[in-house]
Each structure stands twice: as C-alpha cells, then as structure tokens.
Structure 1
Amino acid sequence: MGAGRRLLLAVVCGVAVAGIYAAQPVLEPMGRDLGVSAELAGWIVAIGQFGYLAGLLLLVPLGDVVDRRRLVAVHLVIVAVGMILTATASAAWVAFVGLAVAGAFAVVVQTAVAYAASVSPPAERGRSIGVVTSGVVVGILGARVVTGALAEVWGWRSVYAVLAVLSLGLAALVLVVLPSEERCDPSAGYRQVVVSVGGLFGQRILLTRGLIAFFLFASFGTLWSGLSLPLADAPWQLSESRIGLFGIAGLAGALGAARAGRWADAGRAVPVTGLALTLLILSWAAIAQLPWSLWLLVVGIVLLDFAVQAVHVSNQHLLTAVRPDRVSSVIGGYMVFYALGSALGAAATTALVTAHGWTGSSLLGAGFAACALAVWAIDRLLPRGSARLPSGEAGTHQARKRTEGADRVSCRTSSTPGSPVPQRQRQRD
C-alpha cells in the first residue's frame, strides 16, 4: 500500500460517508423544503444510517468473496444513483429512498478499509487503517463545511449533485489505480460468509468492541445531528455556512488522532481506548456551554472528535488482527454497532433539543460516552478465559504471530499438474 493508494482509498471513504452526514448542517431548510417537521428532522440522517446497517449485513461480506477493487467501483456508482434521487426529490419519501440507497452502498467504506488491511503487512496494518479511516472522519466533518457553503449559494440539493459526480469519478479512478486483489478463500460463497457474520457476534472481542462503538457513535451522533438546531436559534442565529465551519474544529481533532494506527501497531490499542473514552466524557463539559460560549464549544468538538477517531481506529486494528481470514466480515459485523449507535444519536438528539434544550442533549451525549467507558472497564476486569477468541492486546499479538506468515503467502492455487504447492500446504504436509 503506497501513500497514493492509501490517499485514494481515504478519499473514497470520505465521499461515500459524506452522503450520510451531509444533511446535518442543513436539516432545517431541507426538512422545510421536503415537508418534514423539526421534531422529525433527525430521521433525515437516521434513514441513511438504517440503510447503512442493511448494507453492513448484506453487502460488506461480499468483500470476502469477490475482488474488492471492483466491488468498491460498483458501490460508488450506486451511491451516485442514491445521491441523484435525493437531489431531484420533490417529496420526502423520494428523498428517503435516495438516502437509504446511498446509505446502504456507503458501506464501500468498510470494503476499502478491508482492502487496505488485507494488502498491508501486519506491522503496518494499523497505519493503513488509520490513514484510510481518517478519510471517513474527513468526509463526515468536512461535509459540514462544504454543505453549509454550497447550501447557502445554490441550495441543499446542490450538495447531493456534487457528491454524485465525485462518486462516479472515483469509481473510474479506482479501476485504473488499484490492482486486483487475490481471494484467499476461493471456496467461500456469499451465503457462507453472510452466515459467518452471525457467528462472529458470539465472540467476546467483537461484542466488546462493538458495544464500545455503539455508545461511542451514539455520543458522536448526538453532537453532530443536533448541533445545527441551537446554533441556528437564538442567541447565535448562525447561517448554514457558518454552522458548517464548526466541522473544521472537528476535523482538527480527528486528524490529530490519525496517529492512533501507529499506537495500535505498537501494541497500545487497549490503554489508548480507555484514555480516549475518558477524554470523550470530559469533552461534553465544554460542549454543554454552547448557549454561553462558542469558543468552549470549539474546544469540546476538537476533544470529542480526537477521542472518537482514536477509539475507532484501535477497535478496527484489534479486530482485523484477530481475524485476517474474514477481514470484510468482521469489520461489517463491528460496523453494525456503529450504524445503530449513530442512528440512535441522530434520532434522539433532535427530540431532546426540542423538549429540553441543549443541556438535555449534552447530558445524553455524556451518558453514552460513560456507557462506552464502562464496557471497556468491565472487559478489562473479566477473566481472559471467558472468551472464545482472545481479547485485548495479548490476544491480538498471538493472532498476529499465527497469521503473519500466512498474510505473505500468495492466495492463488492451481490444479495443473506440476504447479507449485502453496507454502501453507507444504507446512501442513
């Protein structure tokens, strides 16, 4: 994985995920135009998350069966179709269909992360995941800046039109720049890998890291899905473009956590998770000051997005190190928790802001963060022998040692007489 290919995959992730979150800074005009009330505006974002959830279960496992490069290109084209539907919608239900389609195929993000993890040497896996995942955060947060500016000049529909064009361009670029990927298990079928995702949920490391992600992104969604409502109201009464600028603060925090992949490669993923979740709780004390201070809000946003990115990269590094044979499936299973948490945060925060103001929403976000920290602490206290898969740093390094050699072996086999026998078969013999 050269730097150029990492960057391309990061851009793919950013554009794909931007379609889900682009509505956040323009919920008010978008809801007004489509006839959606303020109390239900959060569902404009949540519907994309539910589509994303369906994609995680039904589409991401395809990455363990077919060439991920072609899969990325096809998914980007369908994301563009969803964006076009949304941009041209004359009724709320048409926009919801477009957002659901774009959300379902935005799981191209997980396919891109799985591609980066599978083609990287074990010692650099965390770095690759960190760089590619940073594109996700840039897309989520950068979309707010771009959305606000475009919406103020050309309206909210222009945002989805631009995303559609970018998705189609990236689909073509992926086919040209990225090499085809060899399948390590050509005998595996789609039905088999989809069923295997269900089996992963019974394993402790996925349950632990998944629950942490659920509460982590519920806290994240509580901030970003509800933030535009109090900023557009008294006393600030900010325009869409100014609301979008707060994404720059989050971007600074998220990019600062890009080093989380290197920390994971160094074996510090578990303690970094605990420290970052503690920081996440503290960030809400500053975010809660929104009615009185925008500067404290900015500080809180930087801290929150730093913490979220650090935990997210650490989670994915631990999971892909344990299951290198099912990278797409394990990431897809993990991201189910992410989608559910994000949807919960998006749907709950708008209702709470309307009923109890920003204080109520801030308490909710801090509560989600505290739950994530509690899951991490409980996992640290439980005996390691209670898991079917090894948990934590020790298990990750054991799994890495078992698979380090296999990751470097060509996956191709041949039935032609006299063809070379793969290294793993020679070792078994």
Structure 2
Amino acid sequence: MTTSTISGMTRTSGMTRLRTITFAIAGGLAVGNLYWAQPLIEEIARSLDVSSAGAASLVTVTQIGYALGIFLIVPLGDVLNRRKMIPLILGLSAIALIGAAVAPTFSLLLAALGGVGLTTVSAQLLTPLASELAAPEQRGRVLGTIASGALIGILLSRTISGAVAEFVGWRAIYVLAAILTVALAVVLLFMIPQLEKRPATNYFRLLGSVFTTVAQHRAARPTILISAAVFSVFSLFWTSLTYLLSAPPFSFTVGQIGLFGLAGLAGAVAARRAGSFHDRGWSVPASGVALTLLAVSFVGAWLAQSSVIALVVVVIVLDLAAQTTLVLGQTRLLSLPGQNRSRLNTAFVVSNFLGGAIGSALAGPLWATGGWTTIAGTALAIVAAALLIWALTRRGALTDQT
C-alpha cells in the first residue's frame, strides 16, 4: 500500500479499480433508493387508496428529503471521519427503508420516504472522497465511473422495483434495498482507507461556508445552474413516462414500465467515460454538445409518443446526454483548487435534486393540463435556458479555475 500527500491531504493507495467499482455500486444503490417508487405510483395509489397525483408526491418528498440531507450532512465530509460516517449513514438509511416497507398508511409512507431521502446521501460523500483519492490525471475517468454507477442505480431501480412489485408486491422492494444497504455498509467499513484528520469546524459555520465556497469560484455558479436544469428535465421525463405508458394505447403494467429503465442503461453505459473529456481539456465544448443532444431528444420524445421503439431510442439518447452533462459539470467542480470538495458537491447535488423535485412535481399538473405534448414542450424550454447559460458563460466563467 502506497501513501502520498497531495495539497495537504493524504491519498492512500489512490482509487484502485476495485475501490472505484465498489464506490460506483454503493452510489448506485444509494441514489436508486430515491426512485423505487417512481414506476409504482399507480400501484401504491391503489394499495393505499390515494389519487395518482397524490402518490406522485412520494417521489417529490423523497427528493426534497435528499436535498435536505445533502445540505445538512454532506458538508460534514470535509471535517469528519468518512470511514465511520459513511457506514453509519447507510445504516440509518436501512432503518428508513424498513419503515417504508411496513408503513400502514400513505402519510407514514410519505414520512418514511422523506427519511430515506434524508439518509441516502452516501453517494455524495463517496464522490468527493474519490476525487481526493484519485490522481489528477485519472480524476475525470474515476468520477465518470462513479457518476455512471449512480445513474445506472436510478435506471435499474425502476426496472427492479417494477419486476418485484409485479410478483410479490411493492413493499418487498424496500426490504430488499434495506438488506443490500446493510451489506454495503459493512463492505465500505473495510474499503474506505484511513485519511488524514482535519481540524474541527463549527457546524453552522460549516453550512454557511457552502455558499461562500460557491461564491469563491466563478465556474461554480453557471455549472450548478446548468446541471440543476438538466436534472429537472431528467426527473420530469421519467416521472411523466409512467403516466404515458400506463395510459392507452400502451396500458403497460408496472413490470413493463420498469423495463424501460433497461433502455436507459444503454445511454448510461455509453456515457461512463464522459469524464475523460474533462481529462483531455474538452469539458466545456462537450457539455454544449450534450445539451444540444438533450434538446433534440425532447423533440424526439414529442414525436415518439405513440411508438414504443421510438421511445426506447429517445430514452437512450436522453440518458446519454443528461449523464454526460452532469458528469462533466461535477468533475469541473471537484477539480477546482482547495479542500472544500464536499461543500462544492453539496451545492451541486442540492441544486440538482431541488431541480429534480420541481421536475417530478410538475409532472402531474402538466400531464393533467396538456398531456405528453405539454411535458415535452416544458422540458425543451428548460433545456433551451440551460443552453443559453452555457453559451453566455462558456468563454469565461465555465473555464475559470480560481
């Protein structure tokens, strides 16, 4: 085992292939916990006797809980022992998942999933840790792999939850997730290396420094805005897709809807090496290309609303474009100088999931108002705004590394 010191922090053994894959799996499970309910909205609505629009709030509350957990917990990664902290957080997440599995009423399920969101933040503690451990020349590739693991977790969660619900009911998926979460907590307890101790900081000052850290870097603000816009349309699309596929002419079951997550896997796998664009110095132009491709995918989504094959193609392209944009944005932030990576990641992820919560919250009203056409048009307008921000800042702020 080798140890080297980089910018005042200890890097023990770097990011080995095994450690990178383990972090990616852990991140995928953690983020996937936020989305078990997404293809089960209609099933849960029938089970607990609530409306479809009411059941859709499960996704929104989970994402809001996640954003709150990111803001309140992840900054502690800059000052606490992550080898102990991350397994502890995973254990608390397992307890919340069991709460969701046994919740007898919709209000208790809502509270339990809020708890799942609050505690399923380990992926966003592992990402800045990986950035610290990785050598500069491998940082983009490592973070791309871990971010792809998170997206694959989101997509597989839909497929797995739909299949499990079809055979043994929707509650079983939360029991399975709790078991896997405990297993990963044990693995990470041994996988995370010992790191150099950092000085203690007042908790409230630490939270306030999230904002000052973002303000110190010109590259942070436009990157965060663009990524939040991308994640909002990503969430809007996947939440709305359940409505589209449940209605005629498709009338798919939850298991069939979940299978669409497999199509998204192709895009996620293709984008796995998106971070290598950063390593080659192409981060900003590649982000522009990805945003353009995302806009095109929503035009395609509108045209493809009655064709399964065309929707599968749209899912692949959309996930490839969204994943590439998010990976490059996160890698740019975590490559900025200083030792405040957990706080930068906090700002990045909180903004993303607030955007995601807005996207999922809009899905029900937009569907009721104008169906798939209104959803595709709204998403396209949001992506156009993100492209405008990119165009206005790409020659200055996005490339600033100070």
TM-score, reference length from structure 1: 0.87
2:388 to 374, 387, 407: 374
Equivalences for 1:63-212 in 2 at 5 Å?
A: 63-183=77-197, 185-202=198-215, 203-212=217-226
Is 1:307 the counterpart of 2:321 in the alignment? yes
SS at structure 2 position matched to 1:325: coil
| CA distance, structure 2, for counterparts of residue 304 and residue 37 of structure 1 | 29
Q: Which residue of the partner structure matches residue 30 of structure 1? A: 44
Q: Which residue of the partner structure matches residue 8 of structure 2? A: none
Is 1:269 the counterpart of 2:275 in the alignment? no
Q: Deviations over 1:228-251 (max 9, x none)?
A: 111011111111111111101111
| CA distance, structure 1, for counterparts of residue 368 and residue 43 of structure 2 | 17
Is 1:338 the counterpart of 2:365 in the alignment? no
CA contact (8 A) 2:213 2:340 kept: no
| CA distance, structure 2, for counterparts of residue 286 and residue 24 of structure 1 | 22
| CA distance, structure 2, for counterparts of residue 224 and residue 279 of structure 1 | 17
SS at structure 1 position matched to 2:274: helix
CA contact (8 A) 2:214 2:344 kept: no
Specify the structure having the higher radius of gyration (Cα).
1
| CA distance, structure 1, for counterparts of residue 183 and residue 105 of structure 2 | 28
Q: Which residue of the partner structure matches residue 11 of structure 2? A: none
1:327 to 330, 335, 341: 341
CA contact (8 A) 1:316 1:331 kept: yes
> Residue type matched to 1:256 in 2?
A
Give unmatched runs, 5+ long, in structure 2. 1-14
Q: Which residue of the partner structure matches residue 245 of structure 2? A: 231
2:297 to 264, 280, 283: 283
> Residue type matched to 2:283 in 1?
A
Identity, % of aligned positions = 34
| CA distance, structure 2, for counterparts of residue 251 and residue 150 of structure 1 | 19
CA positional deviation for 1:204: 2.9
| CA distance, structure 1, for counterparts of residue 367 and residue 89 of structure 2 | 35
> Residue type matched to 1:74 in 2?
L
| CA distance, structure 2, for counterparts of residue 172 and residue 321 of structure 1 | 29
TM-score, reference length from structure 2: 0.93
What is the CA RMSD across the aligned residues, in angstroms? 1.4
SS at structure 2 position matched to 1:259: coil
Give unmatched runs, 5+ long, in structure 1. 385-390, 400-429
CA contact (8 A) 2:222 2:398 kept: no
Q: Deviations over 1:286-326 (max 9, x none)?
A: 21234321111111111111011111111111111114410
Point out the more displaced range, 58-67 or 323-332: 323-332
SS at structure 1 position matched to 2:33: helix
| CA distance, structure 2, for counterparts of residue 248 and residue 324 of structure 1 | 39
Q: Deviations over 1:367-390 (max 9, x none)?
A: 221111111112126xx4xxxxxx
> Residue type matched to 2:220 in 1?
L
CA contact (8 A) 1:65 1:189 kept: no
CA positional deviation for 1:123: 1.2
User: Size of the alignment, in residue pairs?
Assistant: 387
> Residue type matched to 2:273 in 1?
R
1:219 to 200, 216, 233: 233
2:54 to 40, 43, 46: 40
